[in-house]
Amino acid sequence: MKITQVSAHVLRLPDVTAACDGTQDTCLIRVDTDEGITGWGEVDSAPTVVAAIIEAPLSHQIANGLANCLLGLDPLALDVCMAAMEQAANYYGRTGAGSHAMAGVNLALWDIAGKACDRPVYQLLGGPHKRSFRAYCSILFADTPQATYELARRHADMGFTAIKFGWGPMGQNEALDVALVREARRGAGEDVDILVDAGQVWDWKTALTRARQFHEFGIFWLEEPLHPEDVAGYGRLSDASPVPIAAGEAESRYVDFERLMCNGRLDWIQPDPGRCGISTMVEVGRLAHRMHTRIVNHSFKSGITISASLHALAAVPHGDIFEFCMADSPLRHELTRESFNIDSDGLAHVPEGPGLGVTINEDTIAKFRVR
């Protein structure tokens, strides 16, 4: 089997705001083969930047577009394909959007491998350790504490046993920070776990103060309170915090996850397959297991990334909970023919179809494609 084409598809809603909502636009990666098998991936990054990296013409040996370097390769030789991309992007893309673009291709290659073998990806990865995971509802903080209370109440009534509130107005001032978490707890009730995603708004000393203040409300974890580069700060915070600390969604390379776990001493590591790929996510998960660090996916995109996350978590020994994006966006809910729902026990289940187990809705692509 040979790769015949690699293409990037940028989708975008008509109105995009500054809200930290990755379902307003996306970049899909399509890999076609000479045997008629097509694989799909998705990237959580700046979509038009990723598309440029995929489509770039040859500059020289170690500065080449990813599509160019993959043409003619065997998609089942996944490590060979990844090495070819790493060489092509050596000058410009070892981290950041270059790594993100490679991650999207990685998802598509695993999708092809599963379809070629007529098996779900988790089986090719050596799983499953589990086929279902406790889903936490992932939403953004509302603009006010009262609106956050109402949001919490509504999603608790949907049957979720855990709700994560993120970003929004968090970090503007101490009183508002505490009020947002207090009202989230009051709205969700005492039987639902509350997770707080601060959105990189504090230094480690302020984050420690907030962790102590939020501890009163019994939060499950405090996520991404610091800038991703403040690894030393994460170490100090993790050592002193009364609540578990989670981070890692901004990383894309194994070495950076390793540094964050070893020096940041996190309680939870959060790889996003749309930024690091399935292969790296599984490697990180196995390292986390050896280090007794918990792992959970980060994913705030479509059913493609949701499915990739579930397959990767099924392939690690200690996957337990699952981020379930509840953004109200057609790019979240209509990009795949399959709908992802939680069952009556609040569990999300790994798809059982070949590859990633999703069918792309071409009508949605046609409706929202801008490039």
pLDDT tens, 157-210? 998 999 999 999 999 999 999 999 999 999 999 999 999 999 999 999 999 999
- How many Cα atoms within 13 Å fall on the side-chain side of residue 315? 24
In 3-state terms, what secondary structure has residue 223? strand
Handedness of CA 168, 173, 174, 179 (dihedral sign): negative
- Res 155: pLDDT: 94
Two structure tokens written together for 371:
């490039």
Are residues 309 and 41 in contact, defined by beta-carbon separation less than 8 angstroms?
no
pTM assigned to the model:
0.97
Which amino acid makes up residue 212?
R
- Res 193: pLDDT: 98
Please count the other Cβ atoms lying within 10 Å of the Cβ belonging to residue 19: 11
In 3-state terms, what secondary structure has residue 355? strand
- From 185, 245, 189, 174, select the one nearest 216 (Cα to Cα): 185
Domains and CATH numbers, the chain: 3-118 (3.30.390.10), 124-362 (3.20.20.120)
In 3-state terms, what secondary structure has residue 164? strand
- Res 122: pLDDT: 98
- Res 54: pLDDT: 98
**Which tens digits make up the pLDDT trace of 301-339?**
999 999 999 999 999 999 999 999 999 999 999 999 998
Q: Which residues of the chain have pLDDT under 50?
A: none
Residue 197 to residues 64, 75, 141, 145, Cα–Cα distance (Å): 37, 37, 9, 15
DSSP state, residue 369: B
- Res 192: pLDDT: 97
- Res 151: pLDDT: 96
